[in-house]
Structure formats: structure tokens, C-alpha cells
Amino acid sequence: MRRRKKGTKALIFLFAALLAGIGAYIYTSEDFEREAPQILIEKKIFWNMKKPIGITLKDNLGISSYKITMNDGKNEEVIYEQKLQKPLKMVTVEVDAPPGFTFEKKKAILDIEVNDASRWNYFRGNESQKRVYVIIDRKKPNQYVISNSYKITRGGSAAVIFKATDENLKSVYIKTNFGKKFIPQPFYKEGYYISLVAWPVNERNFRAYVVSEDMAGNVSKTYIRYFLQDKRYKKVKMRLKKSFLEGKVEDLASEYPETAKMGPLEKFKFINETLRNKNEERIHEITSKVSHDMIDDFEIEPFYPLKNSAPKGSFGEYRIYTYNGKTVSRSYHLGLDLASVKRAPIIASNGGECVYSDYNGIYGNMPIISHGLGLYTLYAHCSSVLISKGDEVAAKEVVAKTGSTGLVLGDHLHFGVLVQGVEVMPREWMDKKWIKLNITDVIKDARKMIDMEEEE
């Protein structure tokens, strides 16, 4: 008796263990996995019918079959109905318009069904379904230039105002021949945009185009006609002095441990090139931002940051540094140097927002002010800065005192102007006539034309 009972128990235990084992096998085996296939496409897409619609199907075990149906409100057609002999982990299909489809309603529906090779679900596998709404858009954005500055000078700035409209507008920007994209800001009335553009001092040529793209990939591109004025910039030889290398250069280098084993000329090269690049990258990053808010106007007064000052170094100079007759390093000087008395007050001629106020390597203590429309001014080598990041700056406010922090010899102001991260000639923005002709009048003209257009 005892023995038999023991035997039954063992049998039941064995049977239970077997069931659990099968269960565990089904539950953990790849053959019975429960992960549904993925259908990689957005739920709503825009299609210009130039290229087929790409759909990617993915499954961890393998796709065994799929079916794709298109319906344009009038016709319905099964575009794909495939059973795969050998399951595939990834399948990409391209859907084109079937013949006879007219897309009169400029809409279509794609129904996608996919099964994987799993034995789960009583061997039917896991199924995924997705309905995709397709909006047919074959029309390019409508765009044209309303007005622009007559000319642009190498190293200088210009303005452009244009219209760009589309039912499904995605992005609007200004493309240039040197890879920089300028981002326009909405202007005055819906569908209009304004942007400042800049011709970098080290670029031989300048070409700019208004580009707008819609959600379906239709693109419009319009050349902006500027009269191009080339300008030659000075090459200036700067003789390095031993006292400068041992003083200022040594001081600056001591902040960077990687220069510890360098000789004095190597240290200068490091500061004038490696550190300069780093410092200028930071400036470009801070000054690249543009607001997306609509603006009606852009009133700007000529900049006059330092009273009774004398120019010491001009914008765009190509400086060649020599020591004992040998060239040590080269760099572009990307601001205007002005000198007055020591610790002279620096005035922000236009209001704005302080977006940076800190020490920045060779530029020393340096505040940057954003004046809107992607226009920024910076004031380098200050002995003290009176504004902080986030401060609203009033026009005519004293923002800092000149000094000799950073890579400089004597007390002076390095005045920099930037348009969306590109250094430009400060002289233009200090010139009342230039501002009127190239900025203010362009805006005035554009507003008149827009008003006339809207009345029609």
C-alpha cells in the first residue's frame, strides 16, 4: 500500500513537471514568442507621388506574411499579399499608386497587416495591423522675394523679406553656398518672413536662396538677387615680443594644463588657434539663435559703444604673427578694436537681452547682447561687466568697462557684431545711412507691398 501510494505521487509529480516543462518551453521558446511585428511608418503621412511610399516591417523572429491595401475613396486595391517561404526579420516594401487611382479627394488610406512566424496564438502567429492616412500633396510651396537690401559686401550684412506659403509647410530657411542656413523670422502678416544674412569674411563668393519645403517633400528655391561687392581685407604682420610671450601668453597658457610642456611659441600657437577656435565656437553657438515670434519692425540705432575712441584694429584683418622673422601663427580678427581711456564705460546703443556674461578665454570678460532678428553684439577684454545673463538691457545703458583681459596688450574694447553666428563688419551697423538704406527702408518697402497685396 505504502509503496503504491508513493508510486502514484511520483507519477503525478512527474506529469505535473512535464506539463510545467512544456508550458515553460512554449513560454520561453523562440518558436512561441509573443512579440508582435512592427510596422514602421507614421500614422499620417504626406506624399507628393514622386517616390514610392516606403514601409518597413520588422519582427524579432521573422515575418511570415503581409498584406497591404490602398483605398483612395473611389477604388480599393490589394497592393501586396505575400506569404514568405522563409521568414524574414525585416521586409521593406515600396508602395506606388496603382493604375486607375485618381486621388480626387487628395487622400488615401493604407491598411497594413503583418504576421510573424511564431507558433503562438494556436500556430497563427502574432499579428499587427496599422491604418495609415495619406495626404496627397503635389504642389510646391509658393514663394517669392518681396524686398531685399540692394547689395551685400564681403564681410557684411543684408536683409531679405519674402513670402512662403503652403498647405503643409514644414520649413523655411535661407540656404547659402558656404553651408550656413539662416533662419527667418515671421514678419508682419501670416506667410511673410524676414531674415538678416551675412557674407563671412573668409568666403570668396556669396549666393543665397530662399528655400521652403512642405511635409510631402516638395521644395521651392528662389535666388536672392544682391549686388555683390567684394572687399579686400588687410594682411597685417604682427611681430611677437618676448615680453608678450613671457607675460600675457604665459599667463593665459597656465590656465590650460595641456600646454605645460610646450615652448613659448607653441603656447602662443595653442592660444591663438586651438583656444581661439574653442572660444569662437562658443560665441557662434550663443549667437546662432533666432526667435520664432512674429515681428512688425526692426528699429536699430547706429552702434557707438565707446565715446571719443580711436580705432586700433580693423575687422577682417588677416593677422600673421611672426617671431624673429618666422611665421608662428595666423588668424582672422573678427571685430573692431577701439581704444579710449583705461576702464572707459562701454555703452549698448541698442537695447536687448544679455545672453552671455562671463570669461571666454582669449576674449577675456565678455558680455553678449541679443538685439533680435539674429543680431548680436559682443564686447570683449572688459575689466568689469555690469550686466548678467538674462538681464534686459536698455538702449544707452553702460554695460561694462574696457580692460585688457584675454589675449591683448593694452586696455581696449574689441567690439564684435554677429548675424546668426557669423561675425560681420561692425562699421555697417555703426553707420546711420547704411542702416537706413539696407535695413529700415527694406522693411518699410516690404510692409507697403504686403499691405497692397493683402488689399487685392
Name the residues that contact Zn ion, by CB under 5 A.
335, 337, 414
CB of 138 to Zn ion, least distance (A): 53
- Taking the least distance from each CB to Zn ion, the nearer of 214 and 337 is 337
Q: Which is nearer to Zn ion, 161 or 368 (CB)?
A: 368
Check: CB of residue 301 under 8 Å from CB of residue 350: yes
Dihedral angle, C-alpha 244, 334, 297, 183, nearest 10 °:
-130
Residue environment code for 231-262, b if the CB has 16+ CB neighbours within 10 A, otherwise e: eebeeeebebeeebbeebbeebbeebeebeee
CB count, 10 Å around CB of 296? 10
Considering the complex, what minimum distance in angstroms separates the CB of residue 143 from Zn ion?
Answer: 40
- Residue 275 CB, shortest distance to Zn ion, in Å, is 15
Strand, coil or helix: what is 7? helix
CB of 428 to Zn ion, least distance (A): 17
Would you say 37 or 416 has its CB closer to Zn ion?
A: 416
Distance between CA 164 and CA 190 in Å, rounded?
9
For the CB of residue 314, give the shortest distance to Zn ion in the complex, in Å.
9
Task: Tell me the residue number closest to Zn ion, measured at CB.
Answer: 414
Cα(320)–Cα(87) distance, integer angstroms: 66
| Three-state DSSP class for residue 16 | helix
Pairing of strands 392-393, 352-359: antiparallel
Nearer to Zn ion, 191 or 335 (CB): 335
Nearer to Zn ion, 184 or 335 (CB): 335
β-strand pairing of 365-370 with 336-339 = unpaired
Task: In angstroms, give the least distance from the CB of 276 to Zn ion.
Answer: 11
Residue closer to Zn ion, measured from CB, 149 or 360: 360
Q: Cβ 312 to Zn ion, closest distance in Å?
A: 8
Residue 328 cell numbers, joined: 608662428
Considering only CA atoms, give the Rg of the chain. Answer: 33
Q: How far apart are CA 347 and CA 428, in angstroms?
A: 18
Q: Which CB, 335 or 352, lies closer to Zn ion?
A: 335
